Chains A and B, each alone.
Chain A
């Protein structure tokens, strides 16, 4: 099963209920979206990354590798937001840098940095979930705690298990193409055609297998009874409560600091630039 960035260390973070870790992403995203500030998203990022390193015992190298894809996203967002920032009427823009048609102003740069940090913090919050949660556990928790219909949860898991078979399937299709003399090489136009030539048989065999599994599930009366037992039972424990409390108190402290420093004036949601320059 493809596990993505999941790191197995069996730490206390791993043993939390997947939903505990998942649900944190929601208030974090909400709060960070409402706050335009540099310190708040920086503190949130720090909270999640430190939790991963200490509580999660995730090696720094693995964490670094997981953060790497953020780099191009961050750089792209940074320069475009700064370049296209619309100065408000009330502000007197101090020009920091002229780059051809673009004019970078200080408020624009500060805004861009806060947006990049916001996206980083949201990303860090989901890393806490992704690096320490096995995908199977997440589906299991959805079935057991959220009452996701068992046919749906197990169906998705069953379909997910086909993924490792894809490469063998692809090799078979290529061999079949070669036997029939389908040209392998190709120019710029041939590439998408060839891709579709592989994708359709791959999808077709996947769908055929899905229908066989569906018959097998029905034959075993999956989900026919309203109550069922589980081989592995996931529960909410005291450590889930402790972790949620730690997160809540961190959030309250950060938000109190924000208000204490007189920053609610900076809160803005859609912040429409109603005044044009």
Chain B
């Protein structure tokens, strides 16, 4: 508990910034993949693909495990993506909603639970918040058939859980053996106590 209340160290800020920027840059080609999916298979499949946009709100808390890490990771990723994406500055609002929702989820667990189901849960919760607070008003989903609304929302949440939740675990776990995360809780919890 004491650890959670300590201010962020410069190392933590820089590592979260680097992760966020890397993720934001991956999102740029991902936008084209998203649009190609929408064009070929239709929006229901694109909403699954779009779930990947939650990864910034999952991977940084998984590594740093401090209050604010989800919001900060997702916002920095959105900031890095902003000048390069066809969506423009609105991605900051999207990042705020997605990162904020993931943050709330981890806050509710007291920043203690980071196994795969919890990571997937956080991502799915972020996907739900994004559907309700962003896609409904902006894309006017309220006027679509109710089955379509449910399908879109469920696909968003499933895509978030699998692509963002699973992806965050895959990438972060692969980074631990390289040793660069040794200063962070994700690596510390795996070391045997001496």
Contact = CB atoms under 8 A, between A and B. Distances in A.
- Interface of chain A: mostly helix, strand, loop or mixed: helix
B143 interface: yes
Contacts of B116: none
Contact of A130 (B72, B89, B137, B171): B89
A230 interface: no
B84 to A, nearest CB: 5
A19 to B, nearest CB: 12
B109 interface: no
A23 B74 CA distance: 20
A268 B136 CA distance: 12
A122 B90 contact: yes
Contacts of A276: 146
B4 interface: no
A156 B76 contact: yes
Contacts, number: 174
Nearest to B136: A270
A130 B171 CA distance: 31
Contacts of B85: 69
Contacts of A213: 14
Interface in A106-160: 111, 115, 118-119, 122-123, 125-127, 129-130, 135, 151-152, 155-156, 158-160
Interface string A1-30: 011111000000000000000100100010
A271 B143 contact: yes
Contact of B83 (A22, A36, A130, A207): A130
Given A22-B89, A76-B43, A130-B82, A162 B35 contact: no
B83 A2 contact: yes
**Closest 8 pairs between A and B when the two form their complex, measured CB to CB:** A4-B83, A69-B86, A126-B88, A126-B89, A159-B17, A210-B14, A214-B11, A210-B18
